[in-house]
């Protein structure tokens, strides 16, 4: 079953502008965690931000924030003041169930973001 959906085609944003990358998820569990990772062209996976299903506030980490809408099952990543170095593939991932030993992540297909100077 498709647990994470990222359907946007390649995204483009002008440097210094904000951009929203969409992610919807599917689970009937009440306890879960949502993660965003960045994968630049060099290939590594860089953790950006985390949102727990019971967290009442939207997560923020510097220029990254997560627009968490639980009823709509969406967890969109917002990048403010885009920089050229933000050009990369962005993956949304979900951990079903509470944090613990079996905390595998299920990833979406990713979204390519290109920042234009």
Partner 1 sequence: EPEVTQTPSHQVTQMGQEVILRCVPISNHLYFYWYRQILGQKVEFLVSFYNNEISEKSEIFDDQFSVERPDGSNFTLKIRSTKLEDSAMYFCASSYHRSTDTQYFGPGTRLTVL
Contact with partner 1 (CB under 8 A) among 7, 14, 99, 116: 99
**Among residues 14 and 103, whose Cβ is nearest to partner 1?**
103
C-alpha atoms less than 13 angstroms from C-alpha of 26 in its C-beta half-sphere: 7
Contact with partner 1 (CB under 8 A) among 19, 23, 24, 33: 33
Helix (H, G, I), strand (E, B) or coil at 80: coil
Contact with partner 1 (CB under 8 A) among 28, 41, 44, 85: 44
Indicate whether 100 belongs to the interface with partner 1 (CB under 8 A).
Answer: yes
**Among residues 79 and 94, whose Cβ is nearest to partner 1?**
94
Stretch (H or E) spanning 110:
none
Indicate whether 95 belongs to the interface with partner 1 (CB under 8 A).
Answer: yes
Q: Which residues contact 97 (CB under 8 A, 6 or more apart)?
A: 29, 31, 32, 103
* Residue 20 CB-density burial (10 A; 0-12 exposed, 13-18 middle, 19+ buried): middle
Which residues here bind partner 1, judged by CB under 8 A? 33, 35, 37, 42-47, 50, 52, 91, 93, 95, 99-110
């Amino acid at each position: 079953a498709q647990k994470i959906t990222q359907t946007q085609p390649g995204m483009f944003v002008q440097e210094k502008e904000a951009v929203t990358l969409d992610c919807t998820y599917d689970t009937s569990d009440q306890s879960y965690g949502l993660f965003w990772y960045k994968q630049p062209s060099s290939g590594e996976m860089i953790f950006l931000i985390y949102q727990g299903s019971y967290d009442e506030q939207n997560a923020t980490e510097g220029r990254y924030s997560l627009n968490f809408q639980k009823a709509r099952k969406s967890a969109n990543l917002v990048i403010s003041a885009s920089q050229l170095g933000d050009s990369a593939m962005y993956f949304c991932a979900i951990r079903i169930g509470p944090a613990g030993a079996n905390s595998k992540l299920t990833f979406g297909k990713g979204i390519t973001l290109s920042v234009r100077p």
